[in-house]
């Protein structure tokens, strides 16, 4: 049989030319009148094929061809109507003449073929017939002619022994079906199918057989049943191995067409083909395998009622092949639909066949499903029903169904189910392996916030597993899964089905293992949650949220099931729910949950637990005692004005509580939350000001002083450890407890849009334009008693759902305002321009709300913005926009609730549904008509100073006033009630995260105070090293997964398409989300989501794709010419032209042939180096380049020295040289801002080392004297020491004033301040005068404080403010710089400059591809990896630049390189050791010769990466 799936070209080549397989492409010449499409269209290109779209046609109809050609003509070029009519008339006349001539030729050929018996003459006649058919159109043939031709040609195929005649007759029949599709009916009627099958069975000539395949493919499209009955399936499959791959594909397309119309009972001749089809699943050709899978899917659907036939499918190895194909490591990539359908086949087999059931367990199916779920991430991308997500069935639903079928219930009623239960009882190790693989994953999924459907599926599977498992096996599995804490979280859900399943699981566990789990159920709060379902009034005082509204929520649950048509009871058929009619109504009655909860409490929980005071654990009692003591002491300190001894007592109490959390007995989440410790901690660090209204102005400074000391003490407690720094810090235990608590408490909803179709919709409001998403129907109604506004009640308007309410308010104001102000001609012209450009953008599908602000600087190319960018993205995604905007003139209300202007109408609707506890249906959102009431805003109070502390209250003497303002005045998500447990946990986490970021500042400040107060003797003891916690510790995996899921939804074309909590949490607590999640969110906010990203990926891409370079793939590309010797000038011209446009820039160097990714990355690297050159006047490192009276000498100094990172050089506002140099410096900062923003937009990497403080300035964060050490350690240390002396002088000064005989000693390291000979110029910048006063010419003890203040101001504020503003102005030309505030300074460096990690061997192997003669075990590859690891940092950078074009890896490291770094064998001459490696940087492609030794390879590689820089040419 030879190798499977391989082309047998040698057989074809040995045949004469006229005996080889001839496709219509080879024979039929192209013609504008031809009705045939030219080639087979691969079925693999479509995402999925169902019953009604399984067409595998290799040609298209004439009408579609002619229509397409007409469209093309009309799109390119134009002519007047007279010329067009004349041309069409001439064409019709030509076709009429051609058809008339064809009729005559067909009549003559029919007569001749019927009369002629000579073989040679028949051969010539058939050749002529094929030629005529290849050029004719459908109009050239009639039914009678086609029928007559079919009779003659079919008879020739049946009876003639001459292979040439048979071949030509088959070819003519194929062309006949192309030209006249109805001819296939005549061919079937005259016995064509059996004749073709007979020829295939004889297989005398390969070209005849191949022509039979082509003819049968045409016929099977229209007559699948006739082909099935005629034996076509076995005919095309019997000798399939003898044909090349292209013919094998044709054969399978025939079988796919046949399987489209299978009868209810599968015919025997199709069952006969199953062994061959199962064997074909092993082939390597993906298109072939996918078509075989389609056939097997249809066959399985046809036989799923018959256990015997299903057993037969298993015996032929279908299960083994299906498991291999769905495995993530499979070499064959299937479309998502076929992948899901294969899972469906396994579901049918497991359901109907005991053989399949046992085989799946024996093949360890649970391990495969675990891998699939882990890679896909079950809680992502799941709709609230199993039906459709973006047009495709959800893979996760199929996996859960299969898992459900693999666990029969113990009370099995059928014989088959009893056999399955008996199998598992007799094979406990199989069931244990299933539990080890699946149970922890399902627990994790439900805990991570899966939606109701997935949650019910997971709980159903857990319930069935617990029912089937033996007690001994369950103990270890359930304890490892922390089932008690898991169930406590389940009982916080509001859906009755979830509660019922949770109760059923609890009941089974208590039945089997009550002695083991009863205590943990009490400890974790499971008992209290169950008791609260029965007696909710008893638990109103509990802090931990328990579900207390069973009966009230039942109505909303029933309402939801009515809207969706099918209840969750039917999602997974199981004994969890009582039997009921299959009408779709809910099987649960109103008292089901109450009855079961009451039963569990009465049977399994003792009487004394019913008293909530008696039922609590000792740990909870102790923690409550500590919390109460801390609160009492805090209240006392408020009355006594916080003396020092009280602070010491508070600190000792805090230390005792932290020791309990860190080293004491394990504390459950329920105990931690219920103890009140969280609120006590918050009251301590805020001095009781948490959630209080603003204090009197005179108390603000005192409050800040106390809070400052509390934060210092809290930081000292949490960040000090006797163990190794950063390893066992007390703060880690507190953070992890808070994270677990947050995951248990938060209930932020993940809302699916139900996969709406992306097409053009027309939104009347607010801009009358086309949008690519559905619109919301709204009726605007004037508020009662409102007389100042016009009434526009009546019409239902379509509103862009992702427009902000501020934009809608602007639209309404123009309609309802009674005061019509007259506009100037200039204003009228401007409005006309805006409207005109808005209409242009709307036609192109572009966001027209972005027009108004920048119309004067907008040119036509800028409209090439992706159509998917959400409406009004700037106004709703930038936190600062609403603050800068004017006060609203109208107030809008939905269902009586006032709406915030920063929200979108879509978010307002979602909030309303969430408030009413309704399940959100995508259909309802778009079909329901919403009523929005509008009122005049009148005089609106300014709430900006309603916060606890305002900016004006900041005391200038305090170092961290802005930091504390940010902590205390933060606005957490509106979904959370202030003072609720989740709100408290979020607040404390936010405070600790801020404290961790500011740890050096806070603890340094404490040291300086200690020195001032005499607790530290020498200045040397001020220096300290502060351990900090990794930012990853603050990432909440549950919230990250929820955000990831929300961003995958098709409504996430902008931030306004996501629930409001996404934006509110990202604004207030971005640290809760992983860096990758924030980067995706950032790209959606700034650039929108390209539509191609919304499509469901194939299973080969289920893992996380982290592509740092191709993230802007949806933007149009623009090629730019650059001169290497004028990099900055070229960059400036490029940015002037394209900075404001959303285009992806690609660089091409003058007089070089290279273009694409590699040259573009090198361009950003070269620009980075230009900005670091000495003498630009931009950075602190070249401070002596512009000193008056000195010549500029930069010889031997190419780059600015910046060992701690680049920071702007301070420029005074009074220096004469400003007029010459500062404007140039400002221009360069503008350009730098443009370059940085463009690099972020395009996903490029810069090779520039900014200091951490510069990144903080980019993020809009304030700097303090403590930040100077990060970029100038010497200056920063001296200034802190001076500040310490100043503070000490202030505290001790009063003592010496009272004792006049004493003299205040004021020295710096045993040296008088005057002896330091410091003047009032900025250190390092003698021309920078800090003050114009003559009194401060030299620094002394009296003016030292002024000196420190002026130096800090010049270094951090006044001296660099103009440069920073210039940078921001350039940056804002690309996108608003405020969007970067979701990142930290360290993360911003990763975003801009990529990674600089050490290269691990495993990392290299996992992310490199070896091809064309090399494998991972090739000697040359082993040598290469060893050489790379031996490289120093400089050589590694050179290697990266040589291969990729950039000396740094993108964010994410080697895994983010796209394409993957590929090493291939370079075919050289005989003198291989003299050849050099070469690269294709655009493909990250290294062509490496197979050198004879490692030493030679290293020598050649170093030479190549050193000398091969600086140009791109063909290799």
Q: Which structure tokens are listed for 1318?
A: 């410091």
Which one, of 888, 878, 998, lies nearest residue 936 by Cα? 888
Q: Whole-angstrom Cα distance, residue 126 to residue 131? A: 9
Q: Whole-angstrom Cα distance, residue 533 to residue 537? A: 10
Q: Whole-angstrom Cα distance, residue 58 to residue 66? A: 17
Task: Decide if 314 is catalytic.
Answer: no
Peptide linkage before 209 cis (omega within 30 of 0): no
Beta strands at 776-782 and 929-936: parallel, antiparallel or unpaired: parallel
Q: Whole-angstrom Cα distance, residue 463 to residue 511? A: 13
DSSP annotation of 1513: -
Helices 365-376 and 395-405 pack at an angle, to 10 degrees, of 150
Question: How far apart, in Å, are the Cα atoms of 711 and each of 240, 715, 991, 1001?
Answer: 78, 6, 9, 11
Angle in degrees, CA 145, 55, 167, rounded to 5: 45
End-to-end CA distance of the chain: 43
H or E stretch at 1384: none
Task: Give burial (CB, 10 Å; 0-12/13-18/19+) of 94.
Answer: exposed
Angle in degrees, CA 956, 960, 964, rounded to 5: 115
* Active-site residue (options: 130, 177, 567, 1482): 1482
H or E stretch at 702: helix 697-718
Phi and psi at residue 1170, to the nearest 5° = -60, -40
The owner of tokens 């709430």 is 943
Q: What is the 3-state secondary structure (H, E, C) of 963-989?
A: HHHHHHCCCCCCCCCCCCHHHHHHHHH
Angle in degrees, CA 821, 822, 827, rounded to 5: 110
Q: What is the 3-state secondary structure (H, E, C) of 222-253?
A: HCHHHHHHCCHHHHHHCCHHHCCHHHHHHHHH
SS3 of residue 1068 by DSSP: helix
H or E stretch at 781: strand 776-782
DSSP annotation of 220: H
Beta strands at 1155-1156 and 1144-1149: parallel, antiparallel or unpaired: antiparallel
Strand stretches in 1091-1137, DSSP E: 1117-1122
β-bridge mates for residue 789, sequence order:
817
- Return the number of other C-beta atoms located less than 10 Å from residue 868's C-beta: 25
Q: Whole-angstrom Cα distance, residue 1484 to residue 1438? A: 14
Q: Whole-angstrom Cα distance, residue 1206 to residue 1172? A: 8
Beta strands at 929-936 and 1117-1122: parallel, antiparallel or unpaired: unpaired
H or E stretch at 932: strand 929-936
- Return the number of other C-beta atoms located less than 10 Å from residue 668's C-beta: 22
Residue 717 · residue 654 · CB < 8 Å: yes
Q: Which structure tokens are listed for 803?
A: 């427009």
Angle in degrees, CA 1476, 1477, 1478, rounded to 5: 115
Q: Which structure tokens are listed for 469?
A: 């498992």
Q: What are the percentages of helix, strand and coil residues in the chain, rounded to 5?
A: 60, 5, 35
H or E stretch at 54: none
Buried-state track 307-316, b at ≥16 Cβ within 10 A, e below 16: bebbbbbbeb
Residues annotated as catalytic are: 1482
């Amino acid at each position: 049989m030879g190798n499977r799936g391989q082309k047998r070209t040698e057989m074809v080549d040995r045949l004469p030319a006229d005996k080889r397989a001839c496709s219509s492409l080879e024979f039929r010449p192209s013609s504008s009148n031809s009705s045939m499409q030219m080639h087979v269209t691969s079925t693999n290109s479509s995402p999925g094929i169902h019953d009604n779209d399984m067409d595998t046609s290799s040609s298209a109809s004439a009408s579609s061809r002619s229509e397409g050609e007409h469209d093309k003509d009309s799109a390119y070029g134009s002519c007047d109507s007279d010329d067009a009519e004349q041309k069409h008339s001439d064409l019709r006349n030509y076709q009429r003449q051609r058809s008339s001539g064809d009729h005559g030729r067909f009549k003559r050929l029919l007569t001749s073929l019927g009369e002629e018996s000579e073989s040679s003459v028949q051969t010539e006649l058939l050749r002529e017939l094929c030629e005529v058919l290849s050029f004719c159109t459908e109009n050239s043939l009639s039914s009678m002619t086609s029928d007559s031709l079919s009779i003659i040609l079919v008879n020739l195929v049946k009876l003639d022994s001459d292979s040439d005649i048979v071949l030509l007759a088959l070819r003519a029949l194929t062309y006949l079906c192309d030209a006249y599709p109805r001819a296939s009916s005549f061919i079937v009627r005259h016995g064509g199918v059996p004749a073709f099958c007979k020829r295939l069975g004889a297989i005398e000539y390969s070209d005849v057989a191949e022509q039979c395949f082509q003819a049968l493919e045409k016929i099977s499209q229209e007559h699948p049943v006739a082909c099935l009955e005629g034996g076509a399936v076995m005919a095309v499959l019997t000798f399939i191995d003898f044909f090349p791959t292209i013919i094998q594909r044709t054969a399978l397309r025939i079988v796919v067409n046949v399987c489209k119309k299978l009868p209810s009972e599968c015919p025997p001749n199709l069952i006969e083909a199953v062994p061959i089809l199962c064997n074909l699943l092993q082939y390597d050709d993906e298109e072939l395998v996918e078509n075989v899978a389609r056939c097997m899917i249809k066959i399985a659907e046809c036989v799923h009622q018959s256990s015997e036939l299903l057993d037969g499918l298993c015996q032929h190895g279908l299960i083994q092949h299906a498991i291999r194909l769905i495995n993530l490591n499979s070499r064959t990539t299937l479309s998502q639909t076929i992948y899901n359908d294969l899972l469906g086949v396994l579901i049918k087999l497991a359901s109907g066949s005991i053989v399949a059931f046992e085989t799946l367990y024996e093949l360890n199916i649970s391990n495969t499903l675990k891998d699939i779920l882990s890679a896909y991430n079950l809680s992502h991308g799941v709709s609230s029903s199993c039906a459709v997500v973006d047009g495709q069935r959800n893979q996760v639903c199929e996996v859960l169904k299969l898992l459900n079928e693999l666990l029969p219930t113990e009370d099995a009623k059928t014989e088959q189910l009893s056999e399955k239960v008996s199998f598992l009882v007799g094979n406990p190790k199989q069931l244990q392996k299933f539990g080890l693989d699946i149970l922890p994953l399902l627990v994790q999924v439900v805990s991570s916030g899966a939606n109701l459907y997935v949650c019910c599926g997971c709980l159903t599977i857990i319930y069935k597993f617990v029912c089937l498992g033996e007690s001994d096996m369950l103990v270890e599995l359930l304890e490892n899964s922390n089932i008690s804490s898991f169930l406590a979280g389940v009982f916080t859900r509001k859906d009755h089905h979830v509660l019922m399943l949770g109760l059923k699981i609890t009941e089974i566990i208590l039945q089997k293992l009550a002695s083991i789990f009863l205590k943990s159920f009490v400890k974790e709060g499971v008992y209290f949650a169950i008791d609260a379902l029965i007696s909710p009034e008893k638990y109103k005082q509990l802090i931990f949220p328990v579900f207390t509204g069973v009966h009230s929520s039942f109505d909303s649950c029933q309402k939801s099931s009515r809207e969706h048509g099918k209840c969750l009871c039917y999602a997974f058929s199981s004994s969890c729910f009582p039997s009921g009619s299959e009408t779709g109504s809910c099987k649960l009655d109103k008292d089901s949950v109450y009855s079961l909860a009451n039963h569990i409490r009465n049977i399994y929980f003792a009487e004394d637990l019913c008293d909530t005071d008696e039922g609590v654990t000792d740990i909870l009692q102790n923690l409550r005692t500590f919390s109460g003591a801390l609160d009492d002491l805090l209240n006392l300190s408020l009355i006594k004005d916080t003396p020092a001894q009280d602070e010491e007592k508070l600190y000792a109490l805090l230390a005792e509580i932290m020791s309990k959390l860190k080293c004491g007995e394990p504390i459950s989440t329920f105990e931690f939350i219920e103890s009140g410790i969280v609120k006590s901690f918050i009251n301590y660090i805020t001095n009781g000001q948490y959630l209080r209204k603003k204090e009197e102005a005179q108390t603000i400074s005192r409050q800040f002083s106390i809070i400052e000391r509390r934060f210092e003490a809290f930081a000292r407690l949490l960040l000090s450890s006797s163990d190794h720094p950063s390893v066992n810090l007390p703060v880690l235990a507190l953070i992890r407890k808070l994270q677990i608590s947050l995951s248990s408490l938060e209930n932020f909803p993940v809302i699916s849009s139900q996969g709406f179709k992306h097409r053009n919709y027309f939104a009347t409001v607010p801009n009358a334009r086309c949008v690519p998403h559905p619109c919301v129907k709204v009726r605007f109604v004037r508020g009662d008693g409102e007389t100042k506004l016009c009434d526009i009640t009546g019409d239902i308007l379509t509103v862009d759902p992702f427009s902000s309410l501020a934009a809608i308010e602007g639209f309404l104001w123009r309609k309802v305002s009674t005061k019509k102000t007259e506009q100037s001609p200039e204003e009228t012209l401007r409005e006309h321009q805006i409207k005109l450009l808005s209409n242009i953008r709307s036609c192109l599908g572009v966001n027209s709300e972005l027009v108004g602000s920048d119309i004067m600087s907008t040119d036509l190319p800028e409209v090439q913005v992706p159509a998917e960018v959400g409406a009004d993205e700037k106004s709703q995604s930038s936190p600062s926009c609403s603050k800068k905007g004017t006060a609203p003139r109208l107030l809008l209300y939905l269902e009586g609730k006032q709406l915030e202007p920063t929200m979108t109408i879509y978010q307002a609707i979602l909030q309303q549904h969430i408030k009413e506890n309704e399940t959100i249906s995508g259909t309802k959102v778009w079909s329901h008509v919403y009523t929005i009431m509008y009122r005049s805003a009148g005089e609106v109070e300014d709430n900006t100073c309603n916060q606890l502390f305002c900016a004006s209250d900041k005391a200038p003497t305090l170092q961290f006033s802005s930091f504390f303002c940010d902590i205390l005045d933060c606005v957490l998500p509106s979904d959370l009630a202030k003072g609720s447990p989740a709100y408290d946990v979020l607040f404390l986490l936010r405070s600790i995260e801020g404290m961790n970021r500011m740890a050096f500042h806070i603890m340094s400040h404490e040291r300086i105070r200690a020195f001032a107060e005499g607790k530290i003797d020498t200045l040397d003891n001020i220096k300290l090293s502060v351990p900090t916690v990794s930012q990853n510790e603050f990432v909440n995996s549950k919230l990250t997964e929820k955000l990831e899921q929300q961003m995958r939804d098709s409504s996430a074309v902008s931030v306004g398409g996501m629930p409001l909590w996404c934006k509110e949490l990202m604004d207030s607590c971005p640290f809760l989300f992983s860096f990758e999640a924030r980067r995706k969110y950032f790209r959606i906010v700034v650039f929108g989501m390209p539509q191609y990203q919304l499509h469901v990926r194939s299973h080969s891409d289920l893992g996380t794709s982290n592509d740092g370079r191709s993230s802007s793939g949806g933007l149009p590309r623009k090629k730019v010419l650059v001169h290497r010797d004028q990099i900055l000038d070229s960059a400036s011209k490029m940015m002037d032209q394209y900075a404001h446009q959303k285009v992806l820039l690609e660089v091409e160097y003058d007089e070089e042939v290279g273009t694409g990714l590699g040259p573009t990355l090198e361009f950003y690297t070269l620009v980075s180096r230009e900005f670091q050159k000495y003498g630009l006047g931009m950075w602190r490192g070249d401070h002596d380049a512009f000193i008056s009276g000195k010549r500029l000498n930069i010889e031997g100094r190419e780059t600015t020295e910046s060992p701690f990172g680049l920071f702007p050089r301070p420029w005074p506002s009074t220096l004469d040289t400003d007029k010459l140099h500062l404007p140039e410096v400002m221009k360069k900062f503008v350009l730098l801002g443009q370059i940085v923003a463009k690099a972020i937009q395009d996903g490029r990497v810069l090779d520039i080392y900014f200091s951490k403080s510069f990144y903080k300035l980019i993020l809009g964060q304030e700097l303090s004297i403590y930040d100077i050490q990060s970029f100038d350690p010497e200056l920063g240390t001296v200034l802190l020491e001076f500040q310490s002396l100043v503070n000490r002088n202030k505290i001790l000064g009063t003592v010496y004033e009272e004792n006049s005989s004493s003299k205040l000693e004021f020295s710096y390291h045993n040296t008088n301040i005057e002896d330091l000979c410091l003047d009032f110029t900025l250190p390092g910048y003698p021309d920078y005068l800090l003050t114009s006063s003559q009194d401060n010419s030299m620094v002394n003890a009296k003016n030292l404080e002024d000196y420190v203040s002026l130096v800090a101001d010049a270094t951090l504020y006044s001296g660099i403010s103009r440069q920073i503003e210039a940078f921001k102005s350039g940056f804002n030309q690309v996108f608003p710089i405020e969007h970067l505030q979701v990142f930290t300074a360290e993360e911003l460096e990763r975003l801009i400059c990529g990674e600089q990690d050490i290269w691990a061997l495993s990392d290299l192997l996992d992310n490199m591809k070896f091809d064309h003669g090399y494998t991972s075990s090739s000697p040359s590859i082993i040598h290469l990896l060893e050489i790379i690891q031996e490289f120093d940092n400089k050589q590694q950078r050179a290697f990266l630049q040589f291969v990729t074009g950039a000396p740094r890896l993108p964010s994410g490291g080697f895994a983010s390189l796209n394409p993957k770094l590929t090493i291939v064998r370079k075919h050289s001459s005989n003198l291989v050791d003299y050849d050099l490696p070469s690269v294709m940087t655009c493909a990250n492609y290294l062509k490496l010769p197979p050198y004879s030794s490692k030493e030679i390879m290293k020598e050649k590689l170093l030479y190549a990466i050193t000398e091969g820089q600086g140009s791109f040419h063909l290799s």
